[in-house]
Amino acid sequence: MLDHVSITVSDIAAAERFYDAIMNALGVVKVGRRDDWLGYGERSRAAYPDRVYISIRKGPKPEEAEGRHWCFKAKWQTQVDAFWDAGIAAGGVDDGAPGLRNYHASYYAAFLRDPDGNRIEAVCHAAV
């Protein structure tokens, strides 16, 4: 459904430490960086229209919006655990420790806030 998402952060260095850690835990590659931008995932092309990409851009600190968050897919529950552990170690804030949620019987997720307060999630839908 999504081709790409762009979010803003006020401190690109803090964001880079955080997003490098969580994306590595999820097996997502870093595709580029500049002083004002980070990119993760794979950009869509004519030959690869199903790819997904996230762009982290330097900008003003985002406004608080409790219902807004970005959710990344994890293949295994252990990746969700690693996402949360890596995020906490890299300056993130706990917003919901790894565990089963009541969305469906196998919905295993964790929530973090990045150093700017953006709310992010990792979820595994696989039945154990």
> How far apart are alpha carbons 55 and 37 in whole angstroms?
7
pLDDT digits over 55-80, tens only? 999 999 888 877 889 999 999 999 99
Percent of the chain predicted with pLDDT > 90: 84
**Average per-residue pLDDT in the chain?**
94
Give the distance, in angstroms, between the CA of residue 119 and the centroid of all CA atoms in the same chain.
9
* pTM to 2 decimal places: 0.93
pLDDT digits over 7-24, tens only? 999 999 999 999 999 999
In this prediction, residues 12-40 reach a mean pLDDT of 97
CA–CA distance from 15 to each of 46, 73, 84, 98, 110 (Å)? 30, 20, 15, 21, 19
The whole domain housing 94 covers 4-124
Domain count, the chain: 1
Domain holding 24: CATH number? 3.10.180.10
Q: Would strands 119-124 and 70-73 be described as parallel, antiparallel, or unpaired?
A: parallel
